[in-house]
C-alpha cells in the first residue's frame, strides 16, 4: 500500500539546495507565503480568529450580524461568520498575490537562466533603464533584464491571457514602446521589446491584439505597413534603430525569443526551464492547505472537534516521528505513519466514505503537519538570529 499513494509535491518541504526547488520557490514566493500563513492558522487553531478582523460594514452587508442571532440554536448559522471571514481572507490575499507570480517567473528565468541583471522594484527598473538608454517614463515594464557582457536589454510586458480587457488594455501593451519612439530614444544598446501572453491555449484575440498594437504604434512607425507588422511581429522585427519587437504566446515562445536574443542554445535552456515550469505547475501546498483549512473549519464548527486535534493526540500517543533528512525519506516516513494512524483513528470525523480516501486525508494532514514543523523551525531560526 505504501508505494501506491499519490505523489505529493510540497515546495515548503523541498530542499533549497536543489536548484529547481530553489528557483520554483522564488517564482511562487507570494502564493507559497499564503500557503504557509494558512497552515500556521490551521495548526495554531487561529482560523476562527479571522472573524475579529471583519469590519462592521461586512456585519450587515454579508449578513453576519443576522446569522449570529441564530447561532445558539442553529450550528450552520454559528459557522457562517468564520466561514465568511476565512474565505474572504483567502481570496483577498490570493487576488493581491497572483498578479506577481508571472513577473516572478520571468524575473527568475532572466536571472538564473540568462544571467541578466534584474530588479523586482519598479523604481529600480526605471533607474536601470535610465542609466542604460537614457529613457525616463512614468510607465513601467513588468520585467527588465540587462545582459552586461552582450550589452543587450530585454523589456517585457506580460499578460496572463489575451482576452482580458478591451482595446485600451490591448493597446497599453505597447504604450512604453510608443513613448520611446515618440521621444526618439537613440541608444547604442540593442533593445528587445517582448509582448508576452502567457496562456498559449487561447489565441482567439491574437489578430485583434496585433491590430491594436499596430494602431497604437503606427504614427511612430510610418515606414511599416500594417501587413508587414502583422506578418512579422510574431517572429520579431526591428521597428526602429536598435529597437526590436516581438509578440510571444506561452513560455516556449518566450524562451525561444530570449535564447535568440542572448545567443543561448534553445534546446538546453528549454530542458532546464521546462523542469522548473513542470514543478510550479504541479505543486500541492496551496490547494491542500486551503481545502483542508476549510474542511476542518466545518468539522470544528458543526461537530466540535477537528481532525488537527485528533492528529496531534495520536502523534503523541503513537510517538510518530518523521524523517526530514530529504524529501524521499520524509514521504516514506509519512506513508508509514499513515498506515499506523489508519488503524488507530477511531473517531468518525473524516467526512469521506471510502477507506482509501480517508487514508489520503490522514496522509495529507501529516504532510501539512510536516509543513508546519518546517515553518516553525524557520520562524524560530529567524527569531533567534533577530534577537
User: 360 exposed, middle or buried (CB, 10 Å; 0-12, 13-18, 19+)?
Assistant: middle
Average of per-residue pLDDT values in the chain: 90
Q: How many angstroms separate the CA atoms of 17 and 373, rounded? A: 19
Do 220 and 189 belong together in one domain?
yes
Do 248 and 306 belong together in one domain?
no
pLDDT at residue number 117? 95
pLDDT at residue number 168? 47
Do 121 and 255 belong together in one domain?
yes
Do 29 and 164 belong together in one domain?
no
Of 233, 263, 293, which one is at a domain's C-terminal end? Answer: 263
Residues 37-59 pLDDT 10s: 999 999 999 998 998 888 778 77
Residues 141-180 pLDDT 10s: 999 999 999 999 999 999 887 766 544 445 578 899 999 9
- As a three-state string, the secondary structure of 1-56 is CHHHCCCCCCHHHCCCCCHHHHHHHHHCHHHHHHHHHHHHHHHCCCHHHHHHHCCH
Q: Is residue 164 part of a domain?
A: yes
Q: Is residue 37 part of a domain?
A: yes
pLDDT at residue number 188? 77
Do 171 and 240 belong together in one domain?
yes
Do 74 and 175 belong together in one domain?
no
Residues 231-289 pLDDT 10s: 999 999 999 999 999 999 988 999 999 999 999 999 999 988 888 888 888 999 999 99
Residues 21-42 pLDDT 10s: 999 998 999 999 999 999 999 9
State pTM to two decimals: 0.84
Residue 325 has pLDDT above 70, yes or no: yes
Residue 357 has pLDDT above 60, yes or no: yes
By the 8 A CB rule, do 35 and 289 touch?
yes
pLDDT at residue number 233? 96
Q: Name which of 182, 159, 167 is nearest 215 in CA terms.
A: 167
Do 257 and 296 belong together in one domain?
no
pLDDT at residue number 1? 43
Residues 197-222 pLDDT 10s: 988 877 778 898 999 999 999 999 99
Q: Is residue 287 part of a domain?
A: yes
pLDDT at residue number 245? 96
Number of domains within the chain: 2
Q: Please report, in angstroms and rounded to a whole number, the separation of the first and last CA atoms in the chain.
A: 46
Do 252 and 120 belong together in one domain?
yes
Confidence of residue 96 (pLDDT cuts 50, 70, 90): confident
Residues 56-79 pLDDT 10s: 787 788 888 889 888 888 988 888
pLDDT at residue number 249? 94
Determine the structural domain holding residue 20 and report its residue range: 2-101+282-386
b/e per residue 243-275 (b: at least 16 CB within 10 A): bbbbbbbebebbbbbbbebbeeeeeebbebbee
Do 297 and 369 belong together in one domain?
yes
Amino acid at each position: 500500500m505504501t508505494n501506491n499513494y499519490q505523489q505529493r509535491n510540497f515546495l515548503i518541504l523541498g530542499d533549497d539546495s536543489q536548484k529547481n526547488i530553489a528557483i520554483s520557490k522564488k517564482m511562487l514566493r507570494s502564493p507559497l507565503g499564503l500557503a504557509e500563513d494558512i497552515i500556521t492558522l490551521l495548526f495554531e487553531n487561529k482560523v476562527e480568529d479571522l472573524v475579529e478582523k471583519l469590519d462592521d460594514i461586512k456585519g450587515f452587508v454579508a449578513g453576519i450580524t443576522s446569522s449570529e442571532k441564530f447561532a445558539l440554536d442553529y450550528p450552520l448559522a454559528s459557522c457562517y461568520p468564520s466561514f465568511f471571514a476565512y474565505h474572504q481572507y483567502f481570496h483577498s490575499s490570493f487576488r493581491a498575490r497572483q498578479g506577481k507570480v508571472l513577473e516572478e517567473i520571468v524575473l527568475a528565468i532572466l536571472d538564473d537562466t540568462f544571467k541578466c541583471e534584474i530588479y523586482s522594484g519598479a523604481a529600480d527598473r526605471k533607474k536601470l533603464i535610465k542609466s542604460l538608454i537614457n529613457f525616463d517614463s512614468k510607465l513601467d515594464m513588468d520585467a527588465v533584464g540587462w545582459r552586461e557582457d552582450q550589452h543587450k536589454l530585454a523589456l517585457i510586458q506580460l499578460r496572463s491571457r489575451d482576452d482580458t480587457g478591451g482595446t485600451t488594455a490591448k493597446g497599453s501593451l505597447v504604450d512604453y514602446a510608443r513613448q520611446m519612439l515618440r521621444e526618439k530614444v537613440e541608444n547604442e544598446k540593442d533593445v528587445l521589446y517582448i509582448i508576452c501572453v502567457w496562456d498559449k491555449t487561447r489565441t482567439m484575440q491574437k489578430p485583434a491584439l496585433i491590430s491594436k498594437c499596430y494602431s497604437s504604434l503606427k504614427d511612430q512607425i510610418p515606414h511599416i505597413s500594417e501587413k508587414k507588422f502583422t506578418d512579422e511581429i510574431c517572429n520579431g522585427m526591428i521597428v526602429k534603430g536598435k529597437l526590436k519587437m516581438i509578440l510571444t504566446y506561452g513560455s516556449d515562445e518566450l524562451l525561444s525569443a530570449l535564447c535568440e536574443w542572448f545567443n543561448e542554445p534553445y534546446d538546453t535552456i528549454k530542458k532546464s526551464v521546462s523542469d522548473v515550469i513542470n514543478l510550479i505547475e504541479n505543486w500541492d501546498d496551496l490547494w491542500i492547505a486551503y481545502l483542508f483549512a476549510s474542511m476542518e473549519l466545518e468539522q470544528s464548527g458543526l461537530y466540535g472537534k477537528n481532525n488537527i486535534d485528533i492528529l496531534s493526540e495520536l502523534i503523541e500517543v503513537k510517538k510518530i516521528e518523521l524523517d526530514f533528512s530529504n524529501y524521499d525519506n520524509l514521504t516514506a516516513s509519512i506513508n508509514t505513519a499513515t498506515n499506523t494512524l489508519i488503524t488507530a483513528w477511531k473517531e468518525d470525523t473524516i467526512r469521506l466514505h471510502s477507506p482509501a480516501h480517508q487514508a489520503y486525508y490522514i496522509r495529507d494532514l501529516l504532510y501539512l503537519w510536516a509543513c508546519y514543523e518546517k515553518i516553525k523551525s524557520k520562524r524560530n531560526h529567524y527569531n533567534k538570529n533577530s534577537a
